């Protein structure tokens, strides 16, 4: 094994990487002198590096002059999570759900007040639900949307949604306060329902997929015609809970 560096290499960045890794491993525990000794970087260079990182928001100095990871790295991490393509992982995991359940399974994310459908594994059926990748629906009318809205701050929900909500069917929740009350139930159960609220003749169950920061970044759902709901509802709830949990673990 060789320790030879690549042709294009910036030693200062390598040192910064090791500093950040040490701070991340023990946030709020290490002082400048501790980092200097552990990483064998002289105090003057370490002081300059930490001062620069602090100005950039990469690290923050805490009481007792110890260091923790700063907000800028949190922003970078969030940007990485947003760019993460969940679709291949979803297809791998959802294929088993489709096989066991025999009903369509969907993946979506929330974009402001709407649900954006990202992917769908469709069960063979003479009755087809129109929810193709790229399609958008109001979040308040779908199980997917409610699964994600439930884990958003109440202030954000109030900002995004008007007092009166536009209905897609006669069963759609049309009052924001009623929706917020329903979202509280979703948080407790970890499951959201759409009972003919987005499309007549179809019921749906959804669960949120959480990223490492605990944000409901995506949601997965199972939709089925009314004639299948009574028979398969309990199994669908178990399958969608399990699918969401597995996907969260792979974020």
**Paired sense of beta strands 104-111 and 114-121, if any:** antiparallel
Among the listed residues 153, 173, 151, the one whose alpha carbon sits nearest the alpha carbon of residue 163 = 173
> Per-residue confidence at 1, pLDDT binned at 50, 70, 90?
very low
Question: Has residue 42 got a pLDDT over 50?
Answer: yes
> What's the confidence (pLDDT) of residue 2?
47
> Per-residue confidence at 216, pLDDT binned at 50, 70, 90?
very high
The mean pLDDT value of the chain amounts to 89
Question: Has residue 79 got a pLDDT over 80?
Answer: no
Among the listed residues 55, 42, 80, 43, the one whose alpha carbon sits nearest the alpha carbon of residue 212 = 80
pTM of the predicted structure, to 2 decimals: 0.67
> Residue range 85-101: average pLDDT?
91
> Per-residue confidence at 128, pLDDT binned at 50, 70, 90?
low
> Residue range 185-199: average pLDDT?
95
More confident residue, 4 or 17: 17
Q: What is the pLDDT of residues 136-167, one digit of tens each?
A: 999 999 999 999 999 999 899 998 899 999 99
> What's the confidence (pLDDT) of residue 77?
67
More confident residue, 222 or 9: 222
**Paired sense of beta strands 59-61 and 136-138, if any:** unpaired
pLDDT above 90 coverage of the chain, percent: 70
CA 41 – CA 20 distance, rounded (Å) = 13
């Amino acid at each position: 094994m060789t320790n030879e560096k690549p042709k294009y290499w910036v030693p200062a960045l390598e040192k910064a990487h090791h500093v950040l890794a040490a701070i991340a491993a023990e946030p709020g525990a290490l002082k400048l002198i501790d980092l200097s000794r552990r990483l064998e970087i002289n105090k003057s260079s370490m002081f300059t590096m930490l001062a620069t990182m602090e100005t950039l928001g990469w690290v923050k100095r805490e009481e007792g002059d110890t260091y923790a990871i700063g907000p800028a790295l949190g922003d970078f991490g969030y940007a990485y999570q947003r760019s993460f393509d969940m679709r291949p992982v979803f297809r791998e995991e959802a294929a088993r759900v489709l096989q066991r359940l025999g009903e369509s399974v969907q993946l979506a994310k929330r974009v402001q007040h709407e649900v954006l459908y990202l992917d769908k594994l469709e069960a063979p059926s003479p009755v087809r639900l129109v929810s193709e990748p790229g399609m958008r629906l109001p979040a308040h009318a779908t199980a997917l949307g409610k699964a994600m809205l439930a884990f958003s701050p109440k202030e954000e929900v109030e900002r995004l949604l008007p007092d009166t909500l536009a209905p897609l069917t006669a069963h759609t929740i049309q009052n924001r306060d009623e929706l917020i009350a329903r979202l509280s139930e979703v948080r407790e159960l970890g499951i959201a329902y759409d009972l003919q609220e987005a499309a007549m003749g179809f019921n749906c169950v959804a669960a949120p997929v959480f990223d490492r920061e605990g944000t409901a970044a995506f949601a997965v759902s199972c939709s089925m015609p009314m004639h299948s709901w009574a028979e398969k509802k309990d199994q669908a709830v178990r399958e969608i809970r399990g699918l969401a949990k597995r996907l969260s673990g792979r974020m």
